[in-house]
Amino acid sequence: MSGLLRRHPDFRLLWCGEVAGKFGAAVSGVALPLVAVTTLHADAFAVGLLGACTWLPWLLIGLPVGVWVDRVRRRPLMLAAASLSLLLFAGVPLLARSGGLGLGPLLAVALLAGAAAVLFQTAYSAYLPTLLTPPDQPEGNAKLHGSASAAQIAGRGAGGLAVQWAGAANGLSVNAATFLLSLLCLLGIRHREPHPAAKERETGQGRGPVDGPPEIRVPRSLFAEIAEGLRLVAGDTWLRTLTLFGAASNLALMGYQSLVTVFLVREVGLSPGAVGGLLALAGTGGVAGAFAGRRIAARFGTARATLLCELVLPTAALLIPLSTDGAGVLLFVAGSFCVSAGVVAGNTVKAGFQQRYCPPALLGRLTASTSFVNYGTLPFGALLGGALGSALGLRTAMWIMTAGVPLAALILVFSPVRKVRDLPLTRSEGGWHTASGGRTDASPLPGS
């Protein structure tokens, strides 16, 4: 261990919990489709529907969860989400043994696990800046994204092997164990964040007089705060551009990724163990991207790094549909490696930008609003990929969806991102304004 992991015990526990959770998510990302394909003999559309259920909660509850996260402490929400995921994935093997496992229950597990992920991810994004000081946040983001990518690599390989050795449903027991570890790590964190309501009273961001008694303060409605978060994104050029790009990119990414497992099994002819190993090998690009993103941004600027990571590298996605058995699988590895590297590097740069650009009091709503748009396209991408796979064939569907990955980056090309070296550190239009009329300034990092 080095740097931040060595000197910050609470971050070390958060890091361990996040890595364990990402490992488990990677296991389920391989094991759930394999359950559908090998045990339930589902077709391409059903596999796409399974992927859609995983991401549908971002559309259903993403926005209100963002408001909720800004109103309460974030760590208890993360604990609740990890507990729910643990129970869900521990229940799948039990259902299989009792003969009750079918496509319906599997879709329900995917939907509820997706809801838990919404809660965890939104709370986690807002919690991290309360745990780390601004100078530590770039290193923290890089370590979390890099280690999470490494965990996903191992998880994909473990998922395929667990399915091959223990059976599809029993393979999800590995996932349940990882969420137990994540839960224990979160419980061990000693840092206690202040209640957001107390911080509002200190900074004057709520309604009513700053020095007045709490009981006369008028709470804002849920819908008012949801609308406020959406206005924050829609009214800011940089946030709007990155969010629209993320939505278009995720539509294409999920479209082909929802078909990858069935494509490799039925079109390329690989075994479940080989599928897991190949996905793990391809995912090493995420580790490279996480650690390269910060360095690329430092050398070329955050805006130029975003274009390089999100446009140039993902063009290699067009190698994926060329995959065949034997040496032809190297095309899949090369294409997926570049896509993974570009996406994770771009996410690292984007995470640092948002944490600097947006004040902590608004991060929950901002995260939920951007995620509502970004992740809201994922279920549609999964359904589109499944529909195209059933109607046109798996390889043709893969061609269509992988072509959409670099095309989505044209949103960045025809935006202010192309015209500058670096993304801004502060909002230039006089600060951030809340619905109550209060103003919150976002300050740049010291020395930036």
Tell me if the domain spanning 4-190+221-436 has CATH number 1.20.1250.20. yes
Cβ atoms < 10 Å from Cβ of 126: 27
Q: What is the 3-state secondary structure (H, E, C) of 262-312?
A: HHHHHHHCCCHHHHHHHHHHHCHHHHHHHHHHHHHHHHHCHHHHHHHHHHH
pLDDT tens figures, 275-310: 877 887 887 887 788 778 888 998 999 999 999 999
pLDDT value, residue 212: 40
pLDDT tens figures, 211-259: 444 433 445 666 777 787 788 888 889 999 999 999 999 999 999 988 9
pLDDT value, residue 167: 67
Tokens of 171: 């393979």
Specify the residue for token string 């979390």: 144
pLDDT tens figures, 387-402: 999 899 999 999 999 9
pLDDT tens figures, 368-382: 788 788 888 988 998
Q: Which of 166, 151, 153, 163 is nearest to 36 (CA)?
A: 163
Q: Which of 150, 145, 142 is nearest to 281 (CA)?
A: 150
Which residue ranges make up each domain of the chain? 4-190+221-436
pTM of the model: 0.66
> What is the pLDDT confidence band of residue 448, given thresholds at 50, 70 and 90?
very low
In the chain, the percentage of residues whose pLDDT exceeds 90 is 28
Q: Which of 39, 428, 391, 362 is nearest to 203 (CA)?
A: 362
Q: For residues 21 and 14, what is the distance between their CA atoms, to the nearest angstrom?
A: 10
pLDDT tens figures, 63-102: 888 778 878 888 899 999 999 999 998 888 888 888 888 8
Helix 394-408 vs helix 237-262: angle between axes, to the nearest 10 degrees?
160
Helix 9-34 vs helix 74-98: angle between axes, to the nearest 10 degrees?
30
Q: Which of 175, 163, 389, 382 is nearest to 277 (CA)?
A: 163
CB 378 within 8 A of CB 58: yes
pLDDT value, residue 273: 75
pLDDT tens figures, 307-361: 999 999 999 999 999 999 888 999 999 999 999 899 989 988 888 888 788 777 7
pLDDT value, residue 153: 67
The Cα-based distances of 326 to 267, 331, 398 in angstroms read 13, 10, 19
Q: What is the DSSP string of 407-435?
A: HHTHHHHTSGGGG-SS--SS-TTTSEE-T
Tokens of 376: 């809201």
